[in-house]
Structure 1
Amino acid sequence: MKGNPAILAALQQQLDNGGLWPQLTDYMLQESGLPGPRANLTLAGSFAKLFARPDVTETAWELISAWSQLTESEAKTGDPQEFLAFCAVWASGAHYAHAGRTRRGQAEERLQAAMNDGRWRLREAAAMGLQSLGEYDFALLRQLLDGWCVEATLLEQRAFVAALAHPPLLKAEANVLYCLELAAGIMEGIRSGGSGSADPDHFRVLSKGLEYSLSVFAASLPQPGFAMLRKYATSGDPRLIKIVKSNLGKTRLTKNYPDEVAGLLQLLTSC
């Protein structure tokens, strides 16, 4: 359905007419791809793009407000109802740059709640919403993340690096340098022991995010990227070393920068 003008027009009409919400909801549930291994990301992305503009009606905003509040007991992982919440969170991020102060505040609450949700798809929706924002206005995304970073939870930190490890955001050198700086701050937080008393499962989720995202940043800007990996390869912290080793195993690095990877692996062996 991606780019299908007729379907997108129908979705828009149903969004803006509360009387057609049952029809829209049924369509989204039927096409959700759930239960199943993969949700319908094409539909979700097209739905989110309908909110990437300033003239989103109050009716449409009210609908995704309701969908975003579907709890885990109402919309369990893998249930088609979860897809509604997923779409609402992603759409909130897509609308953020075009929204006024009130809606921005509401979108921020939804995104942060989703980052900390027990459902992994909702956490992914938050990252995708941030990516939609960043593709439109990276400076605004940076401003938002800078405001959140100081008191960010481990799951929020994971959302930050997952959102930033998105090639369309990494075309400008300044953007990549920002991503490396933010990631380094998170790594330093781990090294300083700030994560020591945290929920082990939340730390596992953060670690998994770091275990691939650093390689995306390094592949985009190799010199400072490998310098960061080298720094934490020699940190003596087994948690950070595990993160570095995982990144060094990614094809984006082993294929394009074999000498740099081999050098770091040798360094890890000698430490």
Structure 2
Amino acid sequence: MGRRQEYAAVLRALDDWAPYLREHGGLPGPRANLELAQAVADVATPERAAALIDDAGTYGEEYLALCGVVALTDPALLRAHATDPRWRVREGVAMALQRRADADLPWLLDLADDWAGDPHPLVQRAAVAGLCEPRLLKTPPAAARAVAVCAAVTASLAARPASERRNEDVRTLRKALGYTWSVAVAADKANGLPVFERLAASTDPDVAWIVRENRGKARMR
């Protein structure tokens, strides 16, 4: 039995999960226990996930919120949490999208297309961060959709006025695009690389930064 399965077995035997999650979640600290968060999502009911998120809001506990969000499957709820000010909770949204996509990839492909057109930069960030996961891009159609989503979100970023560019949420989106392009292109080099290379002609400073960041990734080299 692996560690994730061990965590799941412990949780099934507990009535109140919060004390165990606080003890083993790894926060405060440099790294949250993501394996435990995945175990929570493996066994949590929707009601349990909602309770963890509610408890987190009451007590200001980021790890409980992370665990509850990873267990979500409702796209409306996930979209709401994609704009959470806590970065670990936003990562929980990406993890939740990927978990559902493991069983239903077309669902995530369509959702990412939709969220790429959302005006909120953190929803766009969730679209690229959720979709650009190597295990999900094993087929040419999936990789091509990832490239297209990255391209759409990058174009949206480039169209934002200069007055918005220093907004923290926009900078967070830019940071995500600084690595997601390399994941998408590495999954579909033949079609993705020409699309990416066309970005190099842009005079937009944020697009230029995105190009430099991705070119420096080992998967691109």
- TM-score (norm. length: structure 1): 0.75
Q: Does 1:86 align with 2:66?
A: yes
- Quote the offset at 1:206 in angstroms: 0.4
Aligned to 2:82: 115
Aligned to 1:213: 180
Amino acid across the alignment from 1:66: A
Give distance in 2, aligned partners of 1:73 and 1:149. Answer: 32
Higher CA-based Rg: 1
Q: Does 1:65 align with 2:45?
A: no
Q: Does 1:247 align with 2:214?
A: yes
Q: Does 1:27 align with 2:34?
A: no
Aligned to 1:2: 3
More deviation, 199-208/107-116 = 107-116
- Quote the offset at 1:74 in angstroms: 3.0
Aligned to 1:11: 11
- Quote the offset at 1:199 in angstroms: 6.1
SS of alignment partner, residue 31 of structure 2: coil
Query: Aligned in 2, Cα 1:185/1:4: closer, same or farther, shift over 3 Å?
Result: closer
- Structure 1 vs Structure 2 CA RMSD: 2.1
Gapped regions of structure 1 (runs ≥ 5): 15-19, 52-59, 76-80, 97-106, 255-271
Give distance in 2, aligned partners of 1:150 and 1:214. Answer: 17
Aligned to 1:40: 33
The 8 Å contact of residues 82 and 93 in structure 2, kept in 1 or not, is answered as yes
Query: Aligned in 2, Cα 1:221/1:189: closer, same or farther, shift over 3 Å?
Result: same
Percent of pairs identical after alignment? 32
Amino acid across the alignment from 2:48: L
- Quote the offset at 1:149 in angstroms: 3.4
Deviations along 1:61-115, whole A, 9 cap, x unmatched?
222112223566732xxxxx211110110011xxx3xxxxxxxxxx223312221
More deviation, 159-168/205-214 = 159-168
Give distance in 2, aligned partners of 1:74 and 1:195. Answer: 38
SS of alignment partner, residue 69 of structure 1: helix
**How many residues align structurally?**
220
Gapped regions of structure 2 (runs ≥ 5): none
- TM-score (norm. length: structure 2): 0.90
Aligned to 1:267: none
Aligned to 2:138: 171
